[in-house]
Chain A
Amino acid sequence: MGFPHRAHPRETPVLSRYFGDTGARTLDGWRQRGGYEALDMALDTDPQALQAIVKESGLRGRGGAGFPTGLKWSFMKPDGKTHYLCCNADESEPGTFKDREIMRWTPHGLVEGVALAAHAIYAETAYIYIRGEFTEPLARVSAAVEEAYAAGVLGANAMGSGKRVDVHVHRGAGAYICGEETALMNSLEGRRGNPRIKPPFPAVAGLFGMPTTINNVETLATVPYIIKNGAEWYKQFGRRDNPKSVGTKLFSVCGNISRPGNYEVALGFPFKDFLYDLCGGPLPDREIKAVIPGGSSVPILTREEAEGAMMDYEGFVAAGTMLGSGGVIVFDDRQDMVRQIARLARFYAHESCAQCSQCREGTAWTTRILERIRDGEGSVEDFDTLLSIADNMSGKTICVLSDSCATPVVSGLAKFRHEFEAKIVPTRGTVTVAGAVRAAAS
């Protein structure tokens, strides 16, 4: 369902089916819509069988990395240790606002998925980490959790299964990086949200040092449907010629587009149809200039590149970018790409956790150069410097925030270099000390 717009016939609403339906928010309402049947079933099923179903379904992490969910779960063995499930509801990748709607409209769908996944990974405790700004989703999910406890869905004897499932809601407090899984764990432990060095991976030593699985909201909300309808049902969604990307996916669309909002389509949907049919294309009298298809951290596409892309993990890679979180940011022909790329860099400079040298200094330096170019104070040499800095920032840090800052710079300079060049005012180029000395001597 294209919330806040009506569903488009070409959408495949699974997760978004009840967006806008206030009746789905209560436990009773959720049960009337078939909710908690999957959990009821799952709590009596062996965790390894659940892991197998999810593995078979082909579900991949919807937070951005696309790691196979069943495979991630299968790292969790019955080893007698305390296990934890973390639900990553820190949705903070610019351009992405799908988890927000899942939590606002179908909070019980998430609680069900969380409880189910907790059981599937031998955990009795799950935490839903919600970014601090999401006050309404926080209230909705908290209310759902309370209702679920009151009804015995959660607690020491979840749904009468004899299994303990505790779900707690934890509020973040304003830090993009806490969407990175190990940063989230640090934050949950009451630390600065610094990403951790891997290894050890969360499945070995995660939250509170114990084996932990961390999944995105959309991923977890999908799981009950898979358990209820079977892996085969889920696999039907997708391109015939690409079995690596199956299922439905929520895409958030924003920026210069006629109908911004969330759209759920089967993976492999043609991006051109998506942009023009579902989302209504550009605003009147404008043209799409560029699209970032997977949240601000993935490479920018030109309109032509975007129109040729297929919307799945492999399709976007083939187009030179990534599916990422599914946050589609559209830029039309009135936008100044230099200004917007500088603004993106500023975002990353603001959000850098400050651990790694390259990220702490590089994001800020990149921003300063870009803003100088934006203001007409740049020189052509700045382009080389930017690319060199971007290279020094990529693939060398604990997490990928640094790379994410470099990505739009590199793709922006490659694809919109003419806009950068147009900002260079020859007479106002910065005079270097050496140049000034030479000038004075001549």
Chain B
Amino acid sequence: MTTRKMLSLTIDGHAVTAPEGTSILEAARSVGVVVPHYCYHPGLPVAGVCRMCLVEVEKMPKLAPACATSVMEGQVVHVHSPKSLDARKGVLEFLLINHPLDCPICDQSGECKLQDYTFAEGRADSRYREAKRFSPVEDFGGDVLYVPNRCILCTRCVRFMSDVAHEPVLNVSERGDRAFIGKAEGNDLTHPWAGNVVDLCPVGALLSKDFLNKARAWELDRAPTICTGCSQGCNAVAETRDNELVRFKPRSNLQVNQYYLCETGRAGYREFNRRDRIREPMVRHDTALQPVDWDVALGALVQAVSARRLVVLASANLSNESLFLLERLQRLIPGAGIFRVERGAEAALPGVPELALRAERVANATAARLLGFVEATDVTDVLRADDALVVVGDDLEGIDSAALDLAATISYIGTSLPDALADRAAVVLPATSVIEEEGTLTNLRGRVQRFLQAKSAPGAARPTWFVLTDLLARCGGDAPFGAPSDVFDALTSTHEAFAGLDYDALGLGGVPLTEIGSTPVTATVGS
């Protein structure tokens, strides 16, 4: 890699050093100066059309678009000089003359750049006295609605579809103030990554049908999470309203998913709002599962697995910590540890290298493999008569339930009791989903990434790692760990693959496992 020449300049009084070729906008951002903009987006080719990012550069005759102007040695830039402010005030007024000003009924309200910048730099009134342009809402197909009245023609959506998704199904149609974002009949926004246009839209012109009228932006609580829709490990934000998940939005991570999240990932939030959650620990008495307290239930589970061969069917969506604790349990009580992988069609986002909805539709198969779990299609491969079977998180979808009867005893730890276990489970422990706990996951490239708790768990449900650490201690293993970070420390100190990682140092962007970083894990499995 050639090193780029570093240039020094001044932006709003801040001394800035930036590599040659950096835009003024990005250089300003690096010192915390925000240049208001609409059409510019770091993931898209520069369009330079909204003209919002005009800034004053000393010795330049005209105001310069900060997104399309490269830094120069010794440059003095004024982002907030009267001239720059006037120009942007002018742009804001133009953008609003035909805008319906319907913020009270607009989904973008509260996270709208038109609102933000108008509040910060715009006029308090409008001098526009003519009739406003009106065009009806259009269904763009997929999850996307187009509200042309609010559109500022920044063309982010058009550029995303053509330059990132490589499927130009959107265009700018017509000219002048008659222009609008158009599409061709029968060519809908059905690309597996098309939903990103809604996030890219800086105003309320492109809306998610799924999220339509669900919540105001300011009513939402947000937590960083990792999408568990596949093994890519896209960084996301889980947004909840009154402890109900309402949507996933992409969280930028240039190493993993840049700024994007696929349709499958977005749709994944519904799973976390299931109503059929197990609310308390249960133990089977006679034929029925009876609620008991945690102590009793854990005792029953210990009894069920003692002195038997233990088969653990772990979900490959469990955190690194939970998988590690299960692996520890298996060391105490030998048997077999397996996991299943649902597969689907891979769907790449061609404009971003190494980004795809992966064929492996589970989040943590990499860690499961590293911790010695074996991929299986069915339990029959490993289950023998008189075994104790513990299912952790797996929904048993597609498993021949009669085959389970080979086990002497079946226990379940997880969120919703699979139908197959309704009459078979001896012990049932309510645990949390990744959305309700914190921990780490390892993606297909071996990147270990943290997720935080986004909502509280129902009833008496406990974090999976917490249930497992308790169980492990009762089976004679390590003393209970107090936090996921403690479990993680134990993982890194006992497993070569995870050696050297530090829970806090993972940050929110994650850190790659060194030996896996270079060798794609998927290349060795799943064939």
- The residue that A354 contacts in the complex, of B90, B128, B175, with Cβ under 8 A, is B175
Q: Which residue of A lies closest to B89 (CB)?
A: A392
Verify if B98 is at the interface (C-beta below 8 Å from A). yes
Q: Which residue of B lies closest to A175 (CB)?
A: B175
Whether A361 lies near B174 (C-beta < 8 A) is no
| Residues in A whose Cβ lies below 8 Å from that of B127 | 385, 388
- The residue that B176 contacts in the complex, of A192, A354, A391, with Cβ under 8 A, is A354
Whether A361 lies near B177 (C-beta < 8 A) is yes
Whether B177 lies near A358 (C-beta < 8 A) is no
Whether B175 lies near A365 (C-beta < 8 A) is no
Whether B172 lies near A354 (C-beta < 8 A) is yes
B113-157 to A contact mask, C-beta < 8 Å, 1/0: 000000000000001111000000000000000000000110000
Whether B94 lies near A354 (C-beta < 8 A) is no
Complex Cα spacing A350 to B86, Å: 26
| Residues in A whose Cβ lies below 8 Å from that of B178 | 354
Complex Cα spacing A352 to B174, Å: 10
Whether A396 lies near B176 (C-beta < 8 A) is no
Tell me the smallest distance from the CB of B91 to a CB of chain A, in Å: 5
Whether B176 lies near A351 (C-beta < 8 A) is yes
Verify if B54 is at the interface (C-beta below 8 Å from A). yes
Tell me the smallest distance from the CB of B401 to a CB of chain A, in Å: 60
Given that A352-B176, A354-B174, A360-B153 are known contacts, is A396 also in contact with B51, CB under 8 Å in the complex? yes
- The residue that B54 contacts in the complex, of A175, A352, A363, A396, with Cβ under 8 A, is A396
Complex Cα spacing A354 to B148, Å: 14
Verify if A356 is at the interface (C-beta below 8 Å from B). yes
The B interface, classified by DSSP as helix, strand, loop or mixed, is loop
Tell me the smallest distance from the CB of B297 to a CB of chain A, in Å: 63
Whether A197 lies near B63 (C-beta < 8 A) is no
Given that A361-B98, A369-B130, A396-B51 are known contacts, is A197 also in contact with B175, CB under 8 Å in the complex? no
Given that A352-B177, A353-B175 are known contacts, is A358 also in contact with B153, CB under 8 Å in the complex? no
Whether B51 lies near A363 (C-beta < 8 A) is no
Verify if A413 is at the interface (C-beta below 8 Å from B). no
Complex Cα spacing A107 to B340, Å: 75
Verify if A162 is at the interface (C-beta below 8 Å from B). no
Whether A197 lies near B46 (C-beta < 8 A) is yes
Whether B48 lies near A361 (C-beta < 8 A) is no
- The residue that A360 contacts in the complex, of B48, B128, B129, B176, with Cβ under 8 A, is B176
| Residues in B whose Cβ lies below 8 Å from that of A397 | 51
Complex Cα spacing A434 to B52, Å: 30
Verify if B300 is at the interface (C-beta below 8 Å from A). no
| Residues in A whose Cβ lies below 8 Å from that of B90 | 358, 391-393, 396
Complex Cα spacing A69 to B4, Å: 35
Whether A349 lies near B177 (C-beta < 8 A) is yes
Q: Which residue of B lies closest to A355 (CB)?
A: B49
Q: Which residue of B lies closest to A198 (CB)?
A: B68
Tell me the smallest distance from the CB of A406 to a CB of chain B, in Å: 12
| Residues in B whose Cβ lies below 8 Å from that of A357 | 49-52, 91, 94-95, 152-153
Verify if A140 is at the interface (C-beta below 8 Å from B). no
Verify if B87 is at the interface (C-beta below 8 Å from A). yes
A361-378 to B contact mask, C-beta < 8 Å, 1/0: 111110011001000000
Complex Cα spacing A369 to B129, Å: 8
Whether A430 lies near B129 (C-beta < 8 A) is yes
Interface residues on B, range: 20 to 34
B85-102 to A contact mask, C-beta < 8 Å, 1/0: 011001101110110000
Whether A392 lies near B87 (C-beta < 8 A) is yes
| Residues in B whose Cβ lies below 8 Å from that of A354 | 153, 172, 174-179
| Residues in A whose Cβ lies below 8 Å from that of B128 | 365
In the complex, chain A residues 376-415 whose Cβ is within 8 Å of any chain B Cβ: 385, 388, 391-393, 395-398
The A interface, classified by DSSP as helix, strand, loop or mixed, is helix
B60-80 to A contact mask, C-beta < 8 Å, 1/0: 001101001000000000000
Whether B63 lies near A395 (C-beta < 8 A) is yes
Tell me the smallest distance from the CB of B63 to a CB of chain A, in Å: 6
| Residues in B whose Cβ lies below 8 Å from that of A368 | 130
Q: Which residue of A lies closest to B86 (CB)?
A: A392
Whether B130 lies near A361 (C-beta < 8 A) is no
B276-317 to A contact mask, C-beta < 8 Å, 1/0: 000000000000000000000000000000000000000000
Tell me the smallest distance from the CB of A267 to a CB of chain B, in Å: 26
Whether A360 lies near B62 (C-beta < 8 A) is no
| Residues in A whose Cβ lies below 8 Å from that of B91 | 357-358, 392, 396
Complex Cα spacing A142 to B238, Å: 62
Whether A363 lies near B176 (C-beta < 8 A) is yes
Q: Which residue of B lies closest to A382 (CB)?
A: B129
Complex Cα spacing A395 to B83, Å: 12
Given that A358-B94, A395-B62, A396-B87 are known contacts, is A350 also in contact with B152, CB under 8 Å in the complex? no
Q: Which residue of B lies closest to A384 (CB)?
A: B127
Q: Which of A197, A354, A385, A393 has the most CB of B within 10 A?
A: A354
Complex Cα spacing A175 to B179, Å: 14
Complex Cα spacing A222 to B92, Å: 46
Complex Cα spacing A350 to B172, Å: 16
Complex Cα spacing A175 to B175, Å: 10
Complex Cα spacing A355 to B152, Å: 10
| Residues in A whose Cβ lies below 8 Å from that of B179 | 354, 360
Q: Which residue of A lies closest to B180 (CB)?
A: A354
Given that A197-B46, A385-B127 are known contacts, is A360 also in contact with B51, CB under 8 Å in the complex? no
Tell me the smallest distance from the CB of B149 to a CB of chain A, in Å: 13
| Residues in A whose Cβ lies below 8 Å from that of B48 | 197, 398
Whether A197 lies near B68 (C-beta < 8 A) is yes
Tell me the smallest distance from the CB of B47 to a CB of chain A, in Å: 8
Whether B176 lies near A349 (C-beta < 8 A) is yes
Tell me the smallest distance from the CB of A208 to a CB of chain B, in Å: 17
Q: Which residue of B lies closest to A377 (CB)?
A: B129
Whether A396 lies near B62 (C-beta < 8 A) is yes
| Residues in A whose Cβ lies below 8 Å from that of B129 | 430
Given that A369-B130, A395-B62 are known contacts, is A364 also in contact with B50, CB under 8 Å in the complex? no
Complex Cα spacing A369 to B130, Å: 8
Whether B176 lies near A365 (C-beta < 8 A) is no
- The residue that A192 contacts in the complex, of B87, B94, B97, B172, with Cβ under 8 A, is B172
Whether A362 lies near B94 (C-beta < 8 A) is yes
Tell me the smallest distance from the CB of A200 to a CB of chain B, in Å: 11
Complex Cα spacing A45 to B299, Å: 99
Given that A365-B128, A392-B87, A395-B63 are known contacts, is A356 also in contact with B49, CB under 8 Å in the complex? yes
| Residues in A whose Cβ lies below 8 Å from that of B153 | 354-355, 357, 360
Q: Which residue of A lies closest to B38 (CB)?
A: A357
- The residue that A350 contacts in the complex, of B51, B52, B65, B176, with Cβ under 8 A, is B176
| Residues in B whose Cβ lies below 8 Å from that of A393 | 90
Listed from nearest, the 9 A-B pairs whose CB atoms lie closest are A392-B90, A354-B179, A364-B177, A361-B94, A352-B176, A368-B130, A355-B49, A197-B48, A395-B62
Q: List 21 A-B contacts (CB under 8 A).
A: A349-B177, A350-B175, A351-B175, A352-B177, A353-B176, A354-B172, A354-B177, A356-B50, A357-B94, A358-B91, A361-B94, A361-B97, A361-B177, A362-B94, A363-B176, A365-B128, A392-B87, A396-B51, A396-B62, A396-B87, A396-B91
A residues with CB within 8 A of B: 175, 192, 197, 349-358, 360-365, 368-369, 372, 385, 388, 391-393, 395-398, 430
B residues with CB within 8 A of A: 46-52, 54, 62-63, 65, 68, 86-87, 90-91, 93-95, 97-98, 127-130, 152-153, 172, 174-179
